[in-house]
A and B are shown apart, each in its own frame.
Chain A
Amino acid sequence: MKIRTNFLIAISCLLILSACKKEQPAQSINKDIQVMHPRVIWTEKPQEHAIISWTSTHLGEGNYVLFDTIPNLTGNTHLKANSSKDGKIFIRNMDYAEGIPEAFYHHTELNDLMPATTYYFKFCTDNSCSETYNFITAPDKDQPYAIISGGDSRLGGEKPRFAGRTPSIERQQMNRMIAKLTEEDPSIIAFAHGGDYCTTADWRHLYYWFEDHTLTITKDNRILPLIITRGNHEHEIGFLENFWLGDITNEYSDGYFFMTQITPSSALITLNTETSMAGDQLEFLEETLEKHRVKNNWMFVQYHKPAYPAVKDFDREDFYHVRKYWVPLFEKYKISLALESDGHALKKTMPILNGKVDPDGIIYIGEGGLGVPQRKPFPDRWFFGKESIVDSKHHLWKITVTDSLANVTAFGIEQDTLHTFSLTPKPFLVESTAN
């Protein structure tokens, strides 16, 4: 019995130890500063605002972005924006064990930009500057545009946890395809990522995600702005450090839910299934739809965990909460399309209204295929039918939007068309909410 008592005490000590994760002391400093991992982030007003984020090997004393509407950034007359947020990326023992270098995050907000304009920029930590990249701001007039939507790009790099599938060929291939699609169709203006970037948001995973993300950059160094969603694999501090949304969304940026006004009559609401769905976020959703739905011909919504899962258990409480709290508002305000992730399969549901297939309902597409190994979906679920697609294939969705039509196409890993369909805008009047 004494042994059993000791066993219990030992277990409890083990518990306390296992819950504590210690940081290792800083490693020796390498004097050559390197900057890497360029990202452009869109939040609410992409016509006039963007965030440039990058990684460096040292914190530096001056972190800034040089930018202009001309490609040559060699002179001293260009615009300069100092970074808004910098810091050391949190590193765990496991990150060190896998040989991932220490690094620092930097985020710089570019404000007062001109709409539909190509901006050239380079980011600098002290005197080390990147090469010149470019991105295009969103238009302030209605014009045809396209966005890429997809989720679940976890795994990758040379030593992901448990190894096995290295490197993440599929993720890299999907990213190359994004670059190619953007080169072929310059009307693609953003990349809406549905979450689950990596297995965790720890540095050993994010590092390789950022490395692979550079493959989405086109030959002429164009970077597609990211509209980010938080997935269930982004609960670590690394996500907050590396995907910062800026001061303009202060009220909601911690919650990672916001509305991106893509064109004057087209918006994308990003929701966060990893925080309270019934509280502040529900109020935000209702207020946003109430205020903005009327003037937006197209209202898209993206979030990570699906309301209508193709793979996972339909009755799970998190999926149920999406249906319980958000879907009634989607239906009341007649959103155009819901973009979901998490399941690791290709899916397009039948239009759904009031828990039934209904031609006036909402179509839910997804469900995560940017490189993560695909799972087997259940095509016999009630929300799949003749006009659906349910498959186990890597994919991304390209949504091409004009005034009167949206073409939605799923591309496979070979840029093969897996499924395509069209949507027309749903007429919405204020009175319709009274019903």
Chain B
Amino acid sequence: MKVLPINLSLKSITGLAQVLKFILVLYVLAFCLKLKKGAVISSVLVVENGYSELSAFWIEKGVAIVLLLSLIGIFFKVTYKLSIWIITAFIVGYALLSYFNGGKAFLELSLISAVSKWWLPLLTSIAINAYYDHKDSLNRGFLFGIQLSIFLIFMSHGIGCFLKNALYIDYIIGFVGDYTPFSIKQYQAEQLLNIIGIIDVIVAVLVLLKPSKSLLYWLIFWGFLTSLLRIVDAGIFNYTEFLIRAPHFGLPIAMLIIWNEKIKAKDYSSSPSLSKS
């Protein structure tokens, strides 16, 4: 793997911490909203463990409140570490619970996508810590963590395309039907999905092996577009599905911040006149 510089200016560290905090807030907020409406925790408690619906909902709401408090906690120096651990425990537990509860297509892919965010709180914590400690560099593992997350997100998305995820097919058919004068058949949508799948898998591999600025711009654009499609298609009330995908474009933004520093550092070292100035 290409060795990447991880010396960062304080401005970049600050930017990284802010971006990661923002992504984490949107991501966890989506869970809070899901929990408020009734989600997998209450379903498992009621259906599989015989809890009364009232107590299951209160447990779920209680979890939502703890999560919200944890979200607030990441903005304070004394509480951010505890908050990060609580959030991590939640997102890991929730992903596993959703997986074992079943009731969804492509459970394995959903799990991979969920796992890709398991270390997002940890990355956020490292960035916050670097910001508080005025550090000017980050460990390579930090960058690798971001790359791995992006890889898993786009890889699971690409595999979902190859497996002809019905929701993706309907997004394409719906989008073309609603926003263009054309209509598209299922087999055509599936052909398009194959192309999208190939692109997703290629960019997923490239982000690990040969990242570049243009690749990151593509990831931001595509991650945002596919997230936005959730509300473009099903309306603004489907916003939790958009929020929960904030890392799909947020993590490439975080990586871009690091990448810009790399370009700067490269320009600086390869331009003697610039280094003298």
Contact = CB atoms under 8 A, between A and B. Distances in A.
B186 A279 contact: yes
A271 to B, nearest CB: 13
Contacts of A280: 186
Contacts of B152: 12, 15
Interface stretch (A219-227, A244-252, A309-317): A309-317
B47, B173, B233, most chain A CB atoms within 10 A: B47
A2 to B, nearest CB: 8
Interface stretch (A138-146, A158-166, A358-366, A421-429): A158-166
A325 B166 CA distance: 14
B237 A278 contact: no
A8 B49 contact: no
A19 B112 contact: yes
B15 interface: no
Interface in A268-325: 274-280, 283, 311-313, 315-318, 320-321, 324-325
Contacts of A236: 102
B136 interface: no
Nearest to B188: A279
B267 interface: no
A26 B28 CA distance: 44
Interface in A1-31: 1-2, 4-5, 7-8, 11-12, 14-15, 18-19
Contacts of A18: 111, 115
Interface in B2-39: 37-38
A232 B108 CA distance: 15
B103 A317 contact: no
For the side of the interface on A, what is the size category? Answer: 35 or more
A155 B238 contact: no
A276 B104 contact: no
A332 interface: no
A376 B38 CA distance: 11
A148 B106 CA distance: 31
A164 B46 CA distance: 10
B47 A315 contact: no
A373 B119 contact: no
B145 interface: yes
A5 B166 contact: no
Given A277-B170, A317-B238, A8 B144 contact: yes
B225 interface: no
B144 A279 contact: no
Nearest to B169: A276
Contact of B44 (A12, A19, A162, A376): A162
A313 B102 CA distance: 19
Nearest to A21: B108
A14 B4 CA distance: 25
Interface in B168-188: 169-170, 173-174, 177, 185-186
A1 B47 contact: no
B102, B115, B119, B241, most chain A CB atoms within 10 A: B102
A165 B48 contact: yes
Contact of B174 (A1, A278, A372): A278
Given A5-B140, A233-B102, A165 B170 contact: no
A320 B234 contact: yes
A88 interface: no
Contacts of B142: 1, 4
A155 B48 contact: yes
A5 B144 contact: yes
Contact of A164 (B50, B170, B234): B50
Contacts of A1: 139, 141-142
B154 interface: no
B259 interface: no
B118 A279 contact: no
Interface of B: 37-38, 44, 46-50, 53, 100-108, 111-112, 115, 118-119, 122, 126, 139-142, 144-145, 148, 152, 166-167, 169-170, 173-174, 177, 185-186, 189, 230, 233-235, 237-238, 241
Interface of A: 1-2, 4-5, 7-8, 11-12, 14-15, 18-19, 154-155, 160-162, 164-165, 196, 199-200, 232-233, 235-236, 274-280, 283, 311-313, 315-318, 320-321, 324-325, 344, 372-373, 375-376, 392
24 contacts: A1-B141, A4-B141, A4-B142, A7-B119, A7-B122, A8-B148, A12-B152, A15-B152, A160-B48, A164-B49, A164-B50, A232-B105, A233-B103, A276-B173, A276-B186, A278-B170, A315-B237, A315-B238, A317-B238, A318-B167, A321-B174, A321-B234, A324-B174, A372-B47
Given A8-B144, A232-B105, A278-B174, 12 more contacts: A7-B119, A11-B118, A165-B49, A235-B105, A236-B102, A274-B105, A275-B166, A278-B169, A312-B38, A315-B237, A316-B238, A317-B238
